[in-house]
């Protein structure tokens, strides 16, 4: 059977799903669960009730990430995320997570290019406690020189473990640095090693005092709560913190016109089999024209996602020149998105042959588009993922928090499945013709060979730390 045709039963299921969503939109059903309000100090609050268990997920999002760092201080956003688990006047050194654990909960945090987020999963009756704790460290963090310098060493070891000991991570850094010529998305979130080594207590304190404020934050609470329960708790904790008038709109460098395809080669004896990679700069959901990002999602799903994708079927199944092939579209960034295509060469095959095969599939989609069956299969897969995520309170908290932190809205998040359902084959072909532009790309080969001038020295991995 052709890889681009659905079995009759599968096609029937897809058709019934799409019909159901056209009659009663998922966004209309989901939106009724979500409430929004704003505190007097400017902090946004989103509440998504789910009363199946007496548990809540509490997330605080800051509109700051690695792409907002002052030049020369790469890694400071991630560094500060680590320091937020140190101490305040009320919470002793290293006790924040221990207190959450003693309350029966779990906590963690993460940093990206566009956001920093802190979250706890806790019993409903402990929500007020973690709100007070999170509000406390929003403004009362203590940063002694010893704590800062000790944690800086931890970050350096984390980088050595996760990046320097991972040829794929090194290669990805080099690819992104070549893809973004001027924008900070080309700088790794963890930072460059030589700049991390120079980060000071004052760097951390300045970053903290400028960006960590209620009017630069979003609170998302999902789970066994109502807006009427959350609002007084939020006002009693976060509402007491004054806004910071110094917080303004984000200001970032933009990309110049990209006029030349770039290529790079990375050799490392630890790299495994030779692999091909290509990254394209693309618009994100924030910056794309209406319907364009949705079309890109469908396009890359059909082209490179999973064993039924065009590239996998052509290179792995039919031509047998690759042992694996994959790809994705990342459209969640505030300023830009990215298309990533990759494949591992089959034994005895060259990366040039793999590259030619991928280019042939891209050319075919640009010229002829995708089939109706491929379109419907991709739509149903995405809508199913959305439905499953809507059943998970932690994923709901991430969904709404991320949309808001990059400048979109709750309505945008809720409307996504309906917008996916409206994508046509013509939309997908147009996206392929517009965005598979080699001038806006970087092509890389990663080879399991020692580089000229000496081999890459592996380092001993460090103990993993908070991400």
- Which residues are known to be catalytic? 81
Tokens 């990430």 correspond to: 65
What does the H/E/C string look like for the chain?
Answer: CCCCCCCHHHHHHHHHHHHHHHHCCHHHHHHCCCEEEECCCCCEEEEEECCCCCEEEEEEEECCCHHHCCCCCCCHHHHHHHHCCCEECCCCCCCHHHHHHHCCCEEEEEECCCCEEEEEEEEHHHHHHHHHHHHHHHHCEECCHHHHHHHHHHHHHHHHHHHHCCHHHHHHHHHHHHHCCCCHHHCCCCCCHHHHCCCCHHHHHHHHHHHCCHHHEEEEEEECCCHHHHHHHHHHHHHHCCCCCCCCCCCCCCCCCCCCCEEEEEECCCCCCCEEEEEEEECCCCCCCCCHHHHHHHHHHHHHCCCCCHHHHHHHHHCCCEEEEEEEEECCCCCCEEEEEEEEECCCCCHHHHHHHHHHHHHHHHHHCCCHHHHHHHHHHHHHHHHHHCCCHHHHHHHHHHHHHCCCCHHHHHHHHHHHHCCCHHHHHHHHHHHCCHHHEEEEEEECCCCCCCCCCCCCCCCCCCC
CA-CA distance, 337 to 185, in Å (whole number)?
Answer: 10
Structure tokens at 389: 């995520």
CA-CA distance, 326 to 312, in Å (whole number)?
Answer: 7
CA-CA distance, 185 to 228, in Å (whole number)?
Answer: 39
CA-CA distance, 377 to 379, in Å (whole number)?
Answer: 5
CA-CA distance, 105 to 134, in Å (whole number)?
Answer: 14
Tokens 């994923």 correspond to: 395
């Amino acid at each position: 059977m052709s890889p681009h045709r659905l079995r009759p039963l599968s096609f029937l299921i897809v058709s019934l799903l799409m019909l159901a969503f056209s009659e009663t939109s998922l966004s209309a059903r989901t939106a009724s669960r979500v409430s929004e309000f704003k505190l007097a100090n400017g902090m946004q609050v989103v509440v998504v009730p789910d009363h199946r268990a007496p548990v809540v997920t509490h997330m605080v999002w800051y509109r700051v990430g690695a792409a907002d760092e002052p030049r020369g201080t790469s890694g400071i956003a991630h560094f500060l995320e680590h320091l937020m688990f140190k101490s305040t006047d009320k919470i002793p050194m290293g006790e924040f997570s221990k207190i959450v654990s003693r309350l029966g909960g779990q906590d963690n945090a993460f940093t990206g290019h566009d956001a920093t987020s802190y979250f706890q999963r806790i019993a409903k009756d402990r929500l007020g406690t973690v709100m007070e704790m999170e509000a406390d460290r929003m403004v009362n963090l203590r940063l002694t020189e010893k704590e800062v310098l000790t944690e800086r060493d931890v970050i350096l070891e984390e980088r050595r473990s996760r990046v320097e000991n991972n040829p794929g991570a090194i290669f990805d850094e080099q690819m992104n640095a070549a893809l973004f010529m001027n924008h900070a998305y080309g700088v790794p979130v963890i930072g460059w090693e030589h700049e991390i080594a120079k980060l000071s207590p004052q760097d951390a304190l300045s970053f903290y005092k400028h960006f960590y404020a209620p009017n630069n934050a979003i609170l998302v609470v999902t789970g066994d709560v109502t807006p009427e329960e959350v609002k007084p708790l939020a006002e009693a904790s976060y509402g007491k913190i004054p806004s910071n008038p110094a917080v303004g709109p984000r200001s970032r460098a933009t990309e110049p016109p990209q006029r030349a395809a770039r290529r790079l080669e990375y050799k490392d004896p630890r790299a495994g089999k030779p692999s091909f990679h290509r990254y394209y700069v693309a618009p994100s959901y924030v910056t794309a024209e209406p319907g364009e990002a949705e079309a890109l999602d469908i396009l890359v799903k059909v082209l490179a996602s999973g064993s039924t994708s065009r590239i996998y079927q052509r290179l792995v199944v039919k031509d047998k020149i690759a042992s694996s092939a994959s790809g994705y579209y990342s459209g969640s960034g505030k300023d830009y998105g990215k298309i990533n295509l990759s494949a591992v060469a089959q034994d005895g095959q060259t990366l040039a042959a793999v590259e030619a095969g991928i280019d042939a599939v891209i050319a075919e989609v640009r010229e002829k588009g995708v089939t109706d069956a491929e379109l419907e299969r991709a739509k149903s897969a995405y809508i199913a993922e959305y439905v499953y995520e809507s059943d998970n309170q932690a994923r709901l908290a991430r969904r709404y928090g991320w949309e808001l932190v990059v400048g979109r809205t709750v309505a945008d998040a809720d409307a996504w499945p309906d917008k996916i359902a409206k994508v046509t084959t013509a939309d997908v072909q147009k996206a392929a013709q517009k965005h598979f532009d080699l001038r806006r790309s970087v092509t890389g080969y990663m080879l399991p060979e020692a580089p000229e001038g000496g081999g890459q020295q592996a380092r001993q991995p460090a103990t993993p730390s908070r991400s």
